[in-house]
Chains A and B, each alone.
Chain A
Amino acid sequence: MKTMLSVTGALVLAGALPALAHHAFGGEFDANKPVLLKGAIVKVEWVNPHTWIHMEVKRPDGTREAWMIEGGSPNSLLRLGVTRNSLPVGTEIVVDGYQARDHTLKRANGRNITYPDGRKLFFGSSGTGAPVDGADPTDRRPAR
């Protein structure tokens, strides 16, 4: 019992938190096509089963590409007070993730979505589940 009274214990108890999701990300995105995208929001589809953020990415050569970024269900964000106006068009963001397995699609999962200074777009409500890869030096969760 005593061993459960640690942070690790809490997480063990709190969940066997399964990486459940609406669908398999692994079937949708290509682990060999990592992307880092910087640009401005063009449109946000606050829709289920997943939010899609449309952005215009500026390439180093000055050209621009339209990308779509997959996020989570918007419902829990609505309960946090987020509205359709919370991510205005033109907001600059940085996204890391992986491109769709169909490489003709400029789509990626929003593994991490932040502002240019690295702040997350919103505060988490509760629980775990975000990527663990060492990008966050404060993250002490074991890699899943």
Chain B
Amino acid sequence: MTRRRSLGLTTVLGLLAVSALAPAQIVGQGAKPYSPPRMPDGRPDLQGTYDLATLTPLERPAGMNASLTGEQVARLERAVATQVALGSRPIGGDRAAPPTGGDGSRGAAGNVGGYNTFWLDPGSSFTIVNGEARTALIVDPPDGRLPPLTPAARKRLLGLARPSAENDPGLDSTPGVYDDPERRPLPERCLLGFGSTSGPPALPNYFYNNLHKIVQTPDAVLILTEMVHDARVVRMNAQHLPTHIRKWMGDSVGRWDGDTLVVDTTNFNGDQYRYAVEAAPGRRLLFVDSLGAKEQDRLSGPGKDLHVIERFTRVAHNALLYRFTVEDPATWERPWTGEYTWPATGQPIYEYACHEANYALENVLRGARQRDGEAATRP
């Protein structure tokens, strides 16, 4: 076991080192344009498995430049690696139980702690595009931040806030939220990955299982997301479905623009982000950073009028460039665009059969029934 573990870690570190360096070498702007391998129909071959994990956040942290110098990259990535190493250190077998009343952990860890670092794989290097180590996925607006929410969206999103229960920060006080499995968030129900893992747009989840696989035919392109085994089929040169047909990941149709695959997605369900976000009450959910600091902790995402345009370009034998534009006039005051490199990986996508052993959902609902029983018998 020890040997296997060492080998595994060495392998992973080796891969990470390669992935940190490779894009800089391969995505450069050489004099000779890159010529991708081609399918029998003459189109570029985009197929492969890609690991989207990256340290680059969706939005640029305040005060940062758009890209990092080589020295900054080295220092930051080393700092993260050091934290990982520290997280692997022994903590004492004679330790005590954690504190009564909770350990103060926030988010999905809900005051009872998450689990050890060794389960996680959120990425260890910055995305490199055109030779630049980026500090945000968003490239437009140029400040790397999401555009402002519309006044209507502010109202709508704040109305969706999920406050913590009084005296129990681990619980959601939204009425009825534990009454029915269908009131539980989509990830908890094994329907969609959390955050925008499946997308579109497909974003890193900064947690684990960030692998995506592309399978391509002349008539359809499959985008398989490891998390929750979300499979999106892009119908080539097709019309969108009638507007009354709504899907969690929307309806995707594709076309070729030169050597770039362009995927247009509409017909979203409208609740995809409301329920695809993490389950923890009071947590900041995806896509909201246009609210004030206090309100940031509240909510949520775009609705059924969401329109996403993705552009997939093979820029090297081992990398795609993924560029996406998101618009929803009911949510943001203007469209926004992001891009990042999808490095190919030799790792397989593992099955994510989620329903059969989803004891967590059962435990959550059983806990609520116990509380119901206690409330009913309370004098």
**Distance A63 CA – B320 CA, assembled complex (angstroms):** 58
Stretch at the interface among B107-115, B247-255, B302-310: B107-115
Which bracket fits the contact residues of A?
A: 35 or more
Q: Verify A24–B170 contact, CB threshold 8 A.
A: yes
- Bits for B13-55, please: 1 = Cβ < 8 Å to A, else 0: 0001000000000000000000000000000000000000101
Q: Verify A143–B114 contact, CB threshold 8 A.
A: no
A75 → chain B closest CB, angstroms? 4
Flag whether B195 is at the interface (Cβ < 8 A).
yes
Stretch at the interface among B92-100, B151-159, B311-319: B92-100
- The residue of chain B having its C-beta at the shortest distance from the C-beta of A99 within the complex is B112
Flag whether B356 is at the interface (Cβ < 8 A).
yes
A78 → chain B closest CB, angstroms? 6
- Contacting A at CB under 8 A, from B176-202, are 178, 184-185, 187-188, 190, 194-195
Flag whether B371 is at the interface (Cβ < 8 A).
yes
Q: Verify B359–A77 contact, CB threshold 8 A.
A: no
Residues of B within 8 A of A11 (CB): 79-80, 83
Q: Verify B101–A21 contact, CB threshold 8 A.
A: no
Q: Verify A125–B120 contact, CB threshold 8 A.
A: yes
Residues of B within 8 A of A15 (CB): 55, 57, 122, 206
Q: Contacts A23-B108, A26-B112, A100-B367: A17 and B206 contacting too (C-beta < 8 A)? A: yes
Flag whether B172 is at the interface (Cβ < 8 A).
yes
- Bits for B348-370, please: 1 = Cβ < 8 Å to A, else 0: 00111110111111011011111
- Bits for A26-54, please: 1 = Cβ < 8 Å to B, else 0: 11111110111000000001011111100
Interface of A is mostly: loop
- The residue of chain B having its C-beta at the shortest distance from the C-beta of A80 within the complex is B8
Q: Verify A19–B363 contact, CB threshold 8 A.
A: no
Q: Verify B190–A49 contact, CB threshold 8 A.
A: yes
- Indicate which residue in B84, B93, B115, B283 contacts A125 across the interface (CB closer than 8 Å): B84
Flag whether A90 is at the interface (Cβ < 8 A).
no
- Bits for B75-88, please: 1 = Cβ < 8 Å to A, else 0: 11101111111111
Most buried by A among B53, B109, B169, B188: B109
Q: Contacts A13-B57, A94-B93: A24 and B117 contacting too (C-beta < 8 A)? A: no
**Distance A125 CA – B26 CA, assembled complex (angstroms):** 25
- The residue of chain B having its C-beta at the shortest distance from the C-beta of A81 within the complex is B8
- Bits for B190-223, please: 1 = Cβ < 8 Å to A, else 0: 1000110000000001111100000000000000
Flag whether B64 is at the interface (Cβ < 8 A).
yes
- The residue of chain A having its C-beta at the shortest distance from the C-beta of B366 within the complex is A102
Q: Verify B8–A6 contact, CB threshold 8 A.
A: no
Flag whether B245 is at the interface (Cβ < 8 A).
no
Flag whether A119 is at the interface (Cβ < 8 A).
yes
Residues of B within 8 A of A124 (CB): 84-85, 87-88, 116-118, 120
Residues of B within 8 A of A133 (CB): 98-99, 103-104, 113
Flag whether A18 is at the interface (Cβ < 8 A).
yes
- Bits for A69-94, please: 1 = Cβ < 8 Å to B, else 0: 01111111111111100100000001
Q: Verify B360–A47 contact, CB threshold 8 A.
A: no
Q: Verify B90–A10 contact, CB threshold 8 A.
A: no
**What are 13 of the A-B contact pairs (CB < 8 Å)?**
A11-B79, A18-B207, A21-B278, A24-B110, A27-B178, A28-B363, A31-B100, A31-B110, A79-B12, A111-B112, A131-B115, A135-B95, A136-B86
What 19 new A-B contacts, CB under 8 Å, besides A34-B99, A97-B113, A101-B366? A5-B75, A15-B57, A18-B107, A21-B207, A26-B168, A28-B364, A31-B168, A34-B98, A49-B357, A72-B208, A73-B208, A81-B11, A86-B5, A101-B367, A120-B117, A123-B118, A124-B118, A129-B122, A131-B103
Q: Which residues of B contact A (CB under 8 A)?
A: 1, 4-5, 7-9, 11-12, 16, 53, 55, 57, 59, 61, 63-65, 72, 75-77, 79-124, 135, 168-172, 178, 184-185, 187-188, 190, 194-195, 205-209, 226, 228, 278-281, 283-284, 347, 350-354, 356-361, 363-364, 366-371
Q: Which residues of A contact B (CB under 8 A)?
A: 1, 3-7, 9-32, 34-36, 45, 47-52, 68, 70-83, 86, 94, 96-98, 100-105, 107, 109-133, 135-136, 138-141, 143-144
For the complex of A and B, list the 7 residue pairs with the smallest distance between their C-beta atoms, beginning with the closest: A26-B110, A26-B170, A81-B8, A72-B119, A101-B367, A19-B107, A31-B102
